[in-house]
Structure 1
């Protein structure tokens, strides 16, 4: 299923939380995707961080066809070349840790939904000017909710998503959403490595459900 930009924004806002995950083993990636979906996740970001990320994502995208309402995107993209590679195998959206004009121009030209990483008001404004509909506040743990408030006070129509350091607890999540974020990205704080290594996926599913329930309560 192809999603337009508004549908992607709506899905991300409704979900409230986007898991950010990578693994070298396709079977582990499939299992994590399954439990995330069953817990209520409808937007999932796989990151281009491992040596075989392209191959794993390609298989994961085929596997995810059984979930027609799931958006599966690729993160940690810095170049137009990588964006093209992953878009051709079905990435629903592109996420970058940085604001890269070359990447922005390519995604705009091809009609690909892209999310740039920004850490200053200048970068946020530049990203918005380049056509970004959603901005990744990164690294979130260094910027904090106060950064979101500051950005929205001068650019009120921009949508923000902090990633990096967002904590899986009511107090931290409430601080972000009270500041005005549209959704949050969660990686290492969400995925317990030991639980995954031990195959305790029921624990992971319960954890994701709990976080989604907290977010829905705001």
Structure 2
């Protein structure tokens, strides 16, 4: 099912959280997708970090088709070439750690929802001027919630998503959402490496579910 850019934005806002994950083992990646979906995740970012990320993502994309309402996108994209490769195998969106014009241009040309990483007001403005609907504040732990507030005070129509150092705690999530974020990206803080190594995916499911409930409570 093809979603419009506005519908993708809305799906990201519904849960308020996008898990950010990568693993070279496809069986583990599949298990993490399953646990995330069962917990309530509907938008998932797999990052292009391992040497076999393309092969894993390709298989994961086919596997995830059993969840017709799950959006699976690719992150850590630094070039138009990579954006093209992942577009070819069906990525639902593209995320970059930086504002990269060639990636922006390619995604705009192909009608792909793209999310650039920005760390200054100037970069956010440039991203907005290039058509970005959602900007990734990265690295979130260095920029802080004050950066979100400052950006939204002068560009209230842009949507912000901090990634990097976001923690699944009431205190941390409250700080981000009260600053006005559209959603948060969460990786290492969300996925318990020891649980993954032991194959205890029910632990991941529980952690993700708790984080989603916390976000909903904060929004009330």
TM-score computed with the length of structure 1 as normaliser: 0.99
CA distance in 2, matches of 1:145, 1:51: 33
Pairwise CA distance, 1:2: 1.0
Say yes or no: does 1:175 pair with 2:175.
yes
User: Counterpart in 1 of 2:74?
Assistant: 74
User: Counterpart in 2 of 1:40?
Assistant: 40
What secondary structure is seen at the aligned counterpart in 1 of 2:144? helix
Q: Gaps spanning 5+ residues in structure 1: where? A: none
CA distance in 1, matches of 2:214, 2:16: 10
Aligned CA-pair RMSD: 0.4
CA distance in 1, matches of 2:26, 2:116: 27
What secondary structure is seen at the aligned counterpart in 2 of 1:136? strand
CA distance in 1, matches of 2:77, 2:123: 17
CA distance in 2, matches of 1:155, 1:3: 26
What secondary structure is seen at the aligned counterpart in 1 of 2:18? strand
Q: How does 1:1-218 map to 2 (within 5 A)?
A: 1-217=1-217, 218=219
Pairwise CA distance, 1:82: 0.3
What secondary structure is seen at the aligned counterpart in 1 of 2:12? helix
4+ runs deviating over 4 angstroms: none
CA distance in 2, matches of 1:3, 1:86: 17
Report how many residues are paired: 218
Pairwise CA distance, 1:92: 0.1
What secondary structure is seen at the aligned counterpart in 1 of 2:41? coil
TM-score computed with the length of structure 2 as normaliser: 0.99
Pairwise CA distance, 1:3: 1.1
What secondary structure is seen at the aligned counterpart in 2 of 1:161? strand
CA distance in 2, matches of 1:89, 1:102: 19
Pairwise CA distance, 1:4: 1.1
Per-residue displacement from partner, 1:151-188 (whole Å, max 9, x unpaired)? 00111111000000001100000000000000000000
Q: Gaps spanning 5+ residues in structure 2: where? A: none
